[in-house]
Amino acid sequence: MWLTGMHSVIRFRMFPRLQSFLSEARAKSRGTSAVTASCLCLALAACASTNSTQPVVDAPRSAPPSEEAIEKAVKQVFTAVKLVGAPEISELRRSIPSSPAEWLVCLRSNVPPFNTYALFFDGNKMANYRLAVLYDGCAREMYMPAAPAAAASPAQR
């Protein structure tokens, strides 16, 4: 203990510049950290402030497809991908902005394996279809039988 105390006395008596440098550095670091912390708090507060709690939803670019257009597309895709059984579809809904088109209907067969397809529509025109991916949201949809006109599959003929 005596050596430790003596060591610091010797160090500062032998190096007075070191003592003044260290005390200045301590004083500067206290001020710098306070300024940095206050700037960080202001920046975070500015990013967090919004006037609205409602999500921004754009107006639809195209009208939703008619039931006839959906039935025709369901029949076309059901036969093209050679599904068996009867088609089941989800409710029509808007798709996410990164999708190929504005409107989305999910399609699957009522017989396992339940491969689900996403059908994308711009107005009454089917723009694209694909095997459904996670962000299409088809796994959480409720399905109902498709219209009887679209229910005839190649395996039932």
**How would DSSP label each residue in 77-116?**
HHHHTT--S-EEE---EEPPTTSSSSEEEEEEESSSS---
| Residue 42 in this model has a pLDDT that exceeds 70 | no
Task: Give the 3-state secondary structure of residue 32.
Answer: helix
pLDDT score for 73: 96
| Residue 96 in this model has a pLDDT that exceeds 80 | yes
Give 53 or 21, the one with higher predicted confidence.
21
Per-residue pLDDT band for 61 (boundaries 50, 70, 90) equals confident
Of 19-28, 37-46, 86-95, which one has max mean pLDDT?
Answer: 86-95
CA of 41: how far to CAs of 29, 46, 148, in Å? 18, 9, 62
Per-residue pLDDT band for 60 (boundaries 50, 70, 90) equals confident
φ, ψ of residue 143 to 5 degrees: the values are -115, 145
- Assign residue 123 a region: left if phi > 0, alpha if psi is -120 to 50, beta otherwise? left
pLDDT score for 138: 95
